[in-house]
Structure 1
Amino acid sequence: MKETITYIFRKPDPKFKSIEGVFNHIKAMIGLQTKTSTMHLKSLGGGLSTLWSNVSTFKRDKDTIYHITGDVHYMALVTGKKTVLTIHDVNSILKRDVIKKLYLKLFWFWLPAICVKRITVISNFTKLELEKIIPFAKHKISVVNNPVNELFAFSDYNFNQSQPRILLIGTKPNKNLEMVLKALSTIPSEIVLIGKPTDVQKKLVATLDLNFESRFNLSINEVVEEFKKSDLLCFASTYEGFGMPIIEAQAVGRPVITSNLGAMKEVAADTAYLVNPHDLNSIRLGVKEIIENRPLRQDLIKKGLQNVERFKSENVAKEYMHIYRDVSSGN
């Protein structure tokens, strides 16, 4: 393939690293087969001035296949037909008032879908959501799962049944943190949150008198260590485009509790304990079952390690390489 694959990222922001983590890893794998490069945009945000700043300063190279890695979908307006666009989720972007929703649909979905050659999404759940927004471009959409970072490797441990260390991820509304904390309030445990809690969440922790700590602004190696130090992951979100912590915990060899909804159910399949994230008792029962049922824990760990195989970097890189070749050949 003669073209360079150039990955377009949003302007770096220490608060948001997930897309960068995923695609830097993919870029490294693709780079073993063909020439790659990286482009970071100069302006951050979603307003018209930001769009104009990023779009107007872009210079297209005809010998390049551009891959917009997410968040800045509007760059498809200037990257040309040889472009792959990855869309990570739909609903979290469109939860706005009517005018803002129309603006986002236009510049984040409708126009980019017309301009690009191929669109990738990270789950079948997201594909179904996206098809409702851009039915005219359904034929361009392919599912390519996110790869698990190889730093998340199996680490054996002894489960602490008397006071397990329960790992929680994220503080945004969809992470369902308040409900999860209430569910854990009657279970002797050590609760570790990766993320900076809001003032409201801090007050709730104090009210519930939990054995709780939060850690944030962590390096990827520090995040991996938190997974390894945990006894289980409780990831009962109400909405995810994918749910990467599920796979990361399974790769490390930890049992996972997650939601019986959407992408999380799809990603976990039958390899995690599924709960209703809107039902406090369902979450609580799931955690208790993991703590008290040793054969169940062992079974989930075994199935989880098997599940991780489909998210290995080399498999994901092969799927993207196939897409790049199609774009290169004009298919």
Structure 2
Amino acid sequence: MDVFLGSEEYIEMGGLVSPVFLFRAKRAGGNSIEELFSTIVGGLNNPAKVVNIPHVGASFKALFKNIIFGKRLKGQVFHITGDVQYMALGTGRNTVLTVHDVGSALQGNVLKWFLIKLLWFWLPSLIVRKITVISEFSKGELLEIIPWARHKVQVIPNPVDYERCMIYTRQEPTKFTLLLVGTKPNKNLEKTIEALKGLDVHLNIIGSLTEVQQSLLTATHLTFDNYVNISYDEVLGLYARSSLLCFASTYEGFGMPIIEAQAIGIPVITSNVASMPEVAGDSAILVDPLNVGEIREAVLLVKNNPSKAQELVAKGRVNVERFKLANIVAQYEAVYEEVYNGKA
């Protein structure tokens, strides 16, 4: 993973581009982007190098130091993997930039909005050769901000490491168990809990619970286990020990839990908004995330009808084929070749 090739070695190896992946500064928790692209790096036929930028945060001091750090890096093609798009000001034109979503970035007051648009979207879009997004939904959102860069933007979905998921054998729990992934506002945990009130189910919840969420769980008398700062392998183990993924999010740039659950082999309920219908297709039950009744009815449909659960699992297995690692890696490798050869 840490091998780096110069231009002469590139020629000797028959044209394999050696990308340099830029990750965010290392931090505790919240490493989903790094987990995702570590999988992609591991699947590449090309040698690659991974670099974590040195400074955490979005202060002007941190941004300036990180950009200077980027200017000093040497490589054939740089890939800014997400969240730190401003690094394009350091890496320059031979750069691939991945944007995961737009909505979560554009928050705060008017001044913050302007600075985020300028440093995270406008300027990087003028510099880099290629921008990848993880869904058609994300592409549509992004082009509202940088319409002039339409020719640079390409959809490459997130991959699922199917072989890694297959290590985990399904273990149907004694009590019907729902897996709920994420506790941030867009994950819609409160309405999901409300929808489950009075049902004989158990919950596996991933993410730190707020006081409001804890109080709601206590008031509904639902039994649950809460998991915080667990490894990706532990997350996959939770899929295998759950009966159903209930992912009624209000906003996702992609929605990785959908295909992770399907790769493990459990049925999925997800939302009919944002990117989730695109990712799930007809392989999941789609609900209005703001309609408590719809969420409840969907859970009862799967819980009380084993044949429906089996149907969703079978469709999920078919759906996940679109997102297998080898397919996604091949698309990125083609992009690196285009950028290196100045064709993008």
TM-score by length of 2: 0.92
CA contact (8 A) 2:53 2:69 kept: no
Partner in structure 2 of residue 275 of structure 1: 287
CA contact (8 A) 2:172 2:241 kept: no
Q: Does 1:21 align with 2:46?
A: no
Correspondence list, 1:167-246, <5 A: 167-246=179-258
Cα displacement (A) at 1:158: 4.4
Q: Does 1:151 align with 2:164?
A: yes
Matched AA of 1:151: R
Matched AA of 2:22: I
CA contact (8 A) 2:17 2:337 kept: no
Cα displacement (A) at 1:152: 1.6
Matched AA of 1:258: T
Cα displacement (A) at 1:207: 1.7
Cα displacement (A) at 1:135: 0.2
For residues 187 and 41 of structure 1, what CA distance do their matches in structure 2 show?
A: 47
CA RMSD of aligned residues (A): 1.4
Per-residue CA deviation, residues 202-226 of structure 1 (Å, 9 max, x unaligned), is 1111122211120111112111111
Partner in structure 1 of residue 144 of structure 2: 132
Partner in structure 2 of residue 250 of structure 1: 262
Per-residue CA deviation, residues 9-36 of structure 1 (Å, 9 max, x unaligned), is 0011222111001101111111xx2221
For residues 212 and 54 of structure 2, what CA distance do their matches in structure 1 show?
A: 33
- How many residues are matched? 327
Cα displacement (A) at 1:156: 4.0
CA contact (8 A) 1:10 1:71 kept: yes
Partner in structure 2 of residue 74 of structure 1: 86
Correspondence list, 1:45-60, <5 A: 45-60=57-72
Q: State which of 256, 275, 297 in structure 2 corresponds to 1:285.
A: 297
Q: Give the secondary structure class of the aligned counterpart of 1:187.
A: coil
Cα displacement (A) at 1:181: 0.6
Correspondence list, 1:84-163, <5 A: 84-149=96-161, 150-153=163-166, 155-158=169-172, 163=175
Q: Does 1:166 align with 2:178?
A: yes
For residues 70 and 95 of structure 2, what CA distance do their matches in structure 1 show?
A: 14
CA contact (8 A) 1:3 1:63 kept: no
Q: Give the secondary structure class of the aligned counterpart of 1:217.
A: coil
Q: State which of 3, 7, 24 in structure 2 corresponds to 1:10.
A: 24
Cα displacement (A) at 1:57: 2.7
For residues 280 and 186 of structure 2, what CA distance do their matches in structure 1 show?
A: 18
Cα displacement (A) at 1:296: 1.2
Distance 1:48 1:228, change over 3 A: same
Q: State which of 310, 329, 332 in structure 2 corresponds to 1:317.
A: 329
Cα displacement (A) at 1:137: 0.3
Q: State which of 286, 305, 310 in structure 2 corresponds to 1:298.
A: 310
CA contact (8 A) 1:131 1:138 kept: yes
Partner in structure 1 of residue 271 of structure 2: 259
Q: Which ranges of structure 1 fall in alignment gaps of 5 or more residues?
A: none
Distance 1:88 1:158, change over 3 A: same
Per-residue CA deviation, residues 302-324 of structure 1 (Å, 9 max, x unaligned), is 00001111111100000000100
Q: State which of 44, 50, 54 in structure 2 corresponds to 1:42.
A: 54
CA contact (8 A) 2:248 2:295 kept: yes
For residues 97 and 269 of structure 1, what CA distance do their matches in structure 2 show?
A: 36
CA contact (8 A) 1:2 1:63 kept: no
CA contact (8 A) 1:64 1:82 kept: yes
Q: Which ranges of structure 2 fall in alignment gaps of 5 or more residues?
A: 1-14
CA contact (8 A) 2:173 2:241 kept: no
